[in-house]
Amino acid sequence: MSTTAKKSLSVDEAPRSLVRDMAAKYHIAPEKFLDTLKQTAFQLKPGETISNEQMQMLLVIANEYNLNPFLKQIYAFPDRNKGIVPIVGVDGYIRIVNEHGQANGWSFTISDTRVDLAGIVDVPEWIECIMYRKDREHPTIARVYMAESYRPAFETKSGHKIKGPWQQYPRLMLENRAFIRAARFAFGFTGIYSEDDAERMQTTEYIDADVVQITPEKAAQEATTATVTADKAQDEFIEAYAEDQIKQKQDPDPA
């Protein structure tokens, strides 16, 4: 009979200064910091593991944008190329914008035209976010359309529908999408995704993304140039995942 020893992530296996600085920032012992982060900042499927290199990538991005992974301002999925897909919530984007030295506020314009879509009625046709910078004469305007952004409730082969935030808060979701798009245009944020992207990604078998591969050494030197180029993940696994979740809730003990 053989046994496999579980190897803990070590401070010596990651850039020491970054790990120690972030550990001190969050009042966690450096030798426990990476293991703690591994348990809170990654969305994993059963059997998945995170390498030290993937953890270092997340640390570099979190540090670059001054985001707190323990508050879920940033988290990540592993991708099939042994990289990561970093996700930033709308609160994280708001923090990044507010901390930018040239940020000068934003506003929204909401369409007077109302539309009905599958599962929702009487919602704005579009929403614009107007993002202002102190160093630019003209603001950045990003318009997003409900018909293009809305995601219907998942429906399984058995006819079950799983409602999501787009059914419960369609206007808020569209505002968030407009804000994030305007922020990206106005400030050039790269290498991070939104939670709306994560909704598409987290129910897939693989994060099928083309990721710019970043070694720990290169990441530490070129954090601002790290970019992830995928826009979406495969949707073909959504139905199977949804059915499995329903079965677990309705029939936890098939025997």
Question: Band of the pLDDT at 134, cuts 50, 70, 90?
Answer: very high
pLDDT of residue 43: 78
C-alpha Rg value of the chain to the nearest Å: 20
pLDDT of residue 234: 34
Tell me the per-residue pLDDT of 45-69, one tens digit each, with 9 for 90 and over: 777 888 878 888 888 999 899 999 8
Please say if the pLDDT value at position 110 is more than 90: yes
Tell me the per-residue pLDDT of 152-195, one tens digit each, with 9 for 90 and over: 888 777 778 888 889 999 999 999 999 999 999 999 988 898 88
Please say if the pLDDT value at position 242 is more than 80: no
pLDDT of residue 255: 45
- Which tops the pLDDT comparison, 43 or 251? 43
- Which tops the pLDDT comparison, 58 or 217? 58
pLDDT of residue 7: 43
Beta bridge partners of 194: 88
> What are φ and ψ of residue 230, in 5° steps?
-75, 145
